[in-house]
A and B are shown apart, each in its own frame.
Chain A
Amino acid sequence: MTTQLPIDQMIDVQRGLISREIFVSPDFYQQELEKLFTRAWLFVGHESQIPNQGDFFTSRMGAESVILCRDHAGVVHVFLNSCRHRGMKVCRYEQGNTSLFVCPYHSWSYTTDGKLQGVPLYRALYEGTLQREDWPLIEVPRLALYKGTVWASWDAEAPDLLTYLGGAVDHLDQVLDCRDGRPGGSEVIGVHKWILPTNWKFAAENFLGDTYHNPSHRSVDMIGIGPSAQRGQTGRRDNEYNKGQHVWVGFPQGHGMHSVLMPEQFDYQPSYLQYPEVDEYFRHCFYERQRRQGEKARLMPFTGNLFPNTSYHGRQPRGLCVWHPHSPTETEAWRFFLVDADAPASVKEVLRRFYMRYSGPAGMTEQDDMENWLYATQASSGVIARRYPFNYQMSMGAYKTDDPVPGDVSLQITEQTPRNYYRVYSRYLKNEGWDSLLGRDVQPMREAAE
């Protein structure tokens, strides 16, 4: 399909107007699958899910099933989950350990490094024609491991992952590093998978730093479900950041974060008050992190979205989410919950219980998000509704570059991060080169401040 879509008219970030078409139109959806999800780096899983040789975890990239696998030499691969013969899924288990992926259809079988090994009746039917080595499982051309997370891209020309992440990696580190500041060391303790009747970008945008939607969480804030709720604290989490400067940061690759820069001198804020042992653990981690990271320890995470569809919660709760597209108006949401692998069992116990009551379809906070995304999608699908763009004019021009942290930084709640996100999104849909997708060949965006 060649694109004739009026992308620039639909996505006018200078004026802060974005068409509802990109959230409901099958044409835009198809262009996303063809031009965006085939190129961007996508999160596929975590090494803690495949610790041993032969371990696999069945994941998704865009709308397609892939297998994340550690082969018998210990090398990590990502394969398209589709037999080369007639396309049957070669793996319909969610995770496990195997020496072969055997297709149920005609029994072609593949080794854990993707090679086609078994072809029934090979000598009688294929000898001299089929070269097994030419028909391995389709493997991503680009794969990267970063602090336990596994990422892949279908574009052989994609820049390396760290170039793609750019300055956003400083924020991602706050999710992936141990609470005491050691690099990496997280593990996945469970995965939620559920169906959202919404466009996937509503969810991604929420994590770009849409702090403005706080009123929709009023009910949970009133009753209090945080780890200090039984000590009388309202709100949905501990207020660890009340002395910090909130920052909303956009990066030229399309990433957007809401983080907090703590003052130069700042002390531990007591938290997990109903669990003294956990409070003590985090107090210890806090000082260790300050000791290890010094000035860098001032940056604390809230939420973020790595372009296009990997989001995170940095601390309370802590995890990665992927918003897999199913259709213009349906998304399969996956949430990977993280803890420090070497945290005490008592700490993990408190965290997992908090994560469950906060997050996902049974989470008291996020249920209200799902309600919003559903009805925002539904009420934007009509012919009349689609004539009227969404308003993205909040805090126009109100940001500085590289002050006080790297990136385009706003010190007030802003729609600068989604404006930036959709600017990059439009470049993917126009099939631009990687220099453009990384924001290297363009001036910093300056909208007309109203």
Chain B
Amino acid sequence: MSDVAERVASRRGLAWYELKQEIEEFLYQEADLLDQRRFREWLDLLAEDLVYFMPIRRNVKFGQHADKENTRQGEGISWFDEDKWTLGKRVDQILTGVHYAEEPLSRVTHMVSNVRLLDVQPSVDDPHEVTVGCRFLVFQNRVEYEQYTFIGRRTDVLRRHGDTWLIARRELILEQNVLLAKNLSIFF
């Protein structure tokens, strides 16, 4: 058995499934807050030390993907490499009503699928921090004819906060090189 298969099999206890279900529901509710444009409530789900990161993907030679395909968090220029303060500013800006890139507001649906628990600390029975992988499909329709589809892989670190969770880290691997949208004016 491969390492991956072994790891998956070893975690399939009832507590693991319960945790996975709880995490999935959290992610779906979070997506729903965004789609309902309840942006301030969405901000409340973000940890104060949040890292929100979307690298730029590059066309590199075979064998160099691990090193060079994606820009890196903490250096150079990415699509997003920011904190909760900046995301709060983005929300403030939309709520001015004169941020014309989102005025009138876009129609957005967030699809979340392929949810997997990648790591649980300290244990599945007492989960304080969960690393969860998923796929996202974010559909944006804007004004009359503008339409954008953002598809990719996401890795979140969720931190236990009372009876809910806070997002402490979000990494978004968008499956594009040249960005095929005029703007990234929505949240992912």
Contacts and interface: CB of A to CB of B under 8 A. Distances in A.
Interface string B48-75: 0000001010111100100010010001
A147 interface: no
Given A222-B96, A371-B100, A372-B100, A193 B182 contact: no
Residue of A96, A196, A337, A362 ringed by the most chain B CB atoms within 10 A = A362
Contact of A190 (B76, B92, B177, B181): B76
Interface string B160-188: 00000000000000000111111111000
B12 interface: no
B99 interface: yes
Contacts, number: 119
B183 A361 contact: yes
Contact of B182 (A194, A219, A229, A356): A194
A375 B100 CA distance: 11
Nearest to A335: B77
A357 interface: yes
Residue of A190, A220, A367 ringed by the most chain B CB atoms within 10 A = A367
Contacts of A17: none
A332 B58 CA distance: 16
B170 to A, nearest CB: 14
A356 B98 contact: no
A445 interface: no
B61 A361 contact: no
Interface in A86-100: 92-96
Contact of A355 (B77, B92, B178, B181): B77
A192 interface: yes
Contact of A356 (B78, B99, B178): B78
Interface stretch (B1-9, B82-90, B124-132): B82-90
A374 interface: yes
B85 A230 contact: yes
Given A190-B76, A361-B79, A94 B58 contact: yes
A357 B182 contact: no
A267 B182 CA distance: 40
B81 interface: yes
Interface in A367-406: 367-368, 370-372, 374-375
Contacts of A429: none
A115 interface: no
B80 interface: yes
Nearest to A375: B143
B101 interface: yes
B93 interface: yes
Contacts of B54: 362
A229 B61 CA distance: 41
A207 to B, nearest CB: 17
B143 to A, nearest CB: 8
Contacts of A92: 59
A361 B181 contact: yes
Interface in B115-149: 143, 146
Contacts of A189: 76-77
B101 A368 contact: yes
Q: Is the interface of B mostly helix, strand, loop or mixed?
A: loop
A230 B71 CA distance: 27
A197 B182 contact: yes
Contact of A93 (B61, B86, B179, B180): B61
A195 interface: yes
B182 A195 contact: yes
A195 B179 contact: yes
Contacts of B96: 218-219, 222-223
Contacts of B81: 352-353, 356
A192 B90 CA distance: 20
A86 B61 CA distance: 22
A42 interface: no
Contacts of A362: 54, 79-80, 183-184
Nearest to A194: B179
A248 to B, nearest CB: 24
A357 B93 contact: no
A321 interface: no
A341 interface: no
A364 B182 CA distance: 13
Contacts of B98: 218-219, 222
Contacts of B85: 230
Contacts of B68: 96
Nearest to B54: A362
Contacts of B77: 189-192, 337, 352, 355-356
Contacts of A198: 182
A225 interface: yes
28 contacts: A94-B60, A96-B64, A190-B56, A190-B78, A191-B77, A193-B56, A193-B179, A194-B178, A195-B178, A195-B181, A198-B182, A219-B96, A219-B100, A223-B93, A225-B89, A352-B76, A356-B77, A356-B78, A357-B82, A361-B179, A361-B183, A361-B184, A362-B184, A364-B90, A368-B101, A371-B182, A372-B100, A374-B182
Given A198-B182, A367-B101, 18 more contacts: A94-B59, A96-B64, A192-B77, A194-B179, A195-B178, A195-B180, A195-B182, A218-B96, A224-B89, A229-B89, A337-B77, A356-B81, A361-B182, A362-B79, A368-B100, A368-B101, A374-B182, A375-B143
Interface of A: 92-96, 189-198, 216, 218-220, 222-225, 229-230, 332, 337, 352-353, 355-357, 361-362, 364, 367-368, 370-372, 374-375
By Cβ-Cβ distance, the 5 closest A-B pairs, closest first, are A190-B77, A367-B101, A194-B179, A219-B99, A362-B184
Interface of B: 54, 56, 58-61, 64, 68, 71, 75-82, 85-86, 89-90, 92-93, 96-102, 143, 146, 177-185
